[in-house]
């Protein structure tokens, strides 16, 4: 116990202070964590100063009108998040309380890949509660890194240290047309007729850039009349019968049989996006349920929409 002795020789360190510091990191700043409550703001500010005095290092810095964590602050927040999560798991295990697993992903992956397999994932894990969090890739990477979510399903090329990852599936893309629009389209004449078809797809991000660039290079006309914040919104637009949609191929399971026709888009044939499960190994070290949940999710997703893992 000698190496822990210095932690208890003077005041300033406590579980309460570490918990609130982890909350500040998760929220993205002091004022956000305090949710506009002046009393909480004052308490959090006081506790941060006490932690800074205890460790002898600046944990926050001012950036414009906001307070951000320093590199040391980020490291302390990660340590606090990991060990508090481990203690919570230990308490729940001792009391026979279900442990909670938090997963981050896009709406597309959650609704078309995970939710259809949630019953199997739940069966494989047993005695587990689930939390789903949506967000864009950059935000999900941050949340997995700071351990405010246990793991996330993200683009494989977005993974960076200290995260670890395993490939789960490869996402490809197709054109989906409601039956009324598809009735006048032949696959061998798709290029000629595409210019007159109103399309819906994702509003921005890497995919939209790749879609428009690939179509331009191949001289395929695209009449995108509806830009949506998510592919799931674009799928709703296809169901109205007014729009076609450029969507992940896995969206086929979303539509009633015979109501929507799926066409391959030759200029997107080579474009596929590997999706992996990414996690912070520091969290997995103190929360054994994380690795079990990842393995169970791999099993649940095995088969439809998946490719061999790495």
Question: Under CATH, what is the fold of the domain 98-169+273-301?
Answer: D-Maltodextrin-Binding Protein; domain 2 (3.40.190)
Q: Using only C-alpha atoms, what is the Rg of the chain?
A: 24
Architecture label for domain 173-268: 3-Layer(aba) Sandwich (3.40)
User: Is pLDDT above 90 for 103?
Assistant: yes
169 pLDDT higher than 90: yes
Residues of the chain with CATH 1.10.10.10: 9-77
- Continuous H helices in the chain: 15-27, 30-34, 38-55, 71-95, 107-109, 118-125, 137-145, 179-182, 190-194, 205-218, 231-239, 281-286, 288-301
pLDDT level of residue 310 (50, 70, 90 thresholds) = very low
- Distance of alpha carbon 133 from its chain centroid, rounded? 7
Mean pLDDT of 45-63: 90
DSSP lists the bridge partners of residue 248 as 173
Looking at residues 173-195, what average pLDDT do you find?
A: 89
**Can you tell me the mean pLDDT for 98-127?**
94
- Output the CA–CA distances (angstroms, integers) from residue 199 to 187, 194, 238, in the order listed: 17, 9, 8
Tokens at 99, concatenated = 């442990």
Start-end of CATH 3.40.190.10 domains in the chain: 98-169+273-301, 173-268
CATH architecture of 9-77: Orthogonal Bundle (1.10)
Pairwise CA distance, residues 34 & 50, whole Å: 17
Mean pLDDT of 92-101: 87
Average pLDDT over residues 96-109: 93
Helical pair 71-95 and 15-27, crossing angle rounded to 10 deg? 120
Mean pLDDT to the nearest integer, 142-161: 94
Given a contact cutoff of 8 angstroms between Cβ atoms, the answer to whether 104 and 135 are in contact is yes
- Render pLDDT for 14-31 as a digit per residue (tens, 0 to 9): 989 999 998 888 888 888
């Amino acid at each position: 116990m000698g190496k822990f002795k210095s932690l208890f020789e003077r005041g300033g360190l406590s579980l309460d202070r570490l918990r609130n510091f982890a909350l500040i990191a998760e929220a993205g700043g002091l004022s956000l964590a305090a949710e506009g409550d002046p009393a909480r703001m004052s308490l959090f500010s006081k506790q941060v100063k006490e932690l800074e005095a205890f460790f002898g290092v600046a944990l926050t810095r001012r950036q414009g009108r906001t307070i951000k964590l320093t590199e040391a602050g980020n490291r302390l927040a990660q340590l606090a998040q990991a060990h508090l999560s481990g203690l919570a798991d230990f308490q729940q295990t001792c009391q026979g309380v279900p442990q909670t697993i938090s997963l981050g992903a896009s709406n597309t992956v959650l609704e078309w890949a995970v939710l259809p397999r949630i019953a199997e994932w739940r069966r494989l894990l047993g005695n587990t509660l689930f939390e789903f969090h949506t967000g864009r890739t950059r935000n999900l990477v941050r949340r997995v890194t700071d351990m405010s979510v246990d793991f996330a399903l993200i683009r494989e090329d977005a993974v960076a240290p200290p995260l670890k990852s395993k490939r789960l599936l490869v996402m490809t893309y197709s054109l989906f047309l409601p039956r009324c629009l598809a009735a006048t389209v032949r696959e061998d004449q798709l290029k000629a007729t595409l210019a007159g078809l109103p399309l819906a797809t994702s509003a921005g991000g890497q995919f939209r850039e790749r879609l428009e660039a690939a179509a331009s290079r191949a001289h395929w006309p695209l009449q995108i009349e509806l830009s949506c914040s998510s592919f799931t919104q674009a799928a709703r637009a296809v169901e109205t019968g007014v729009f076609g949609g450029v969507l992940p191929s896995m969206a086929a399971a979303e539509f009633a049989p015979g109501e929507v026709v799926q066409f391959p888009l030759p200029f997107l044939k080579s474009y596929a996006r590997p999706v992996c499960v990414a996690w912070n190994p520091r969290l997995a070290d103190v929360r054994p349920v994380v690795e079990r949940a990842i393995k169970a999710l791999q099993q649940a997703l095995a088969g439809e929409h998946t490719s061999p893992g790495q």
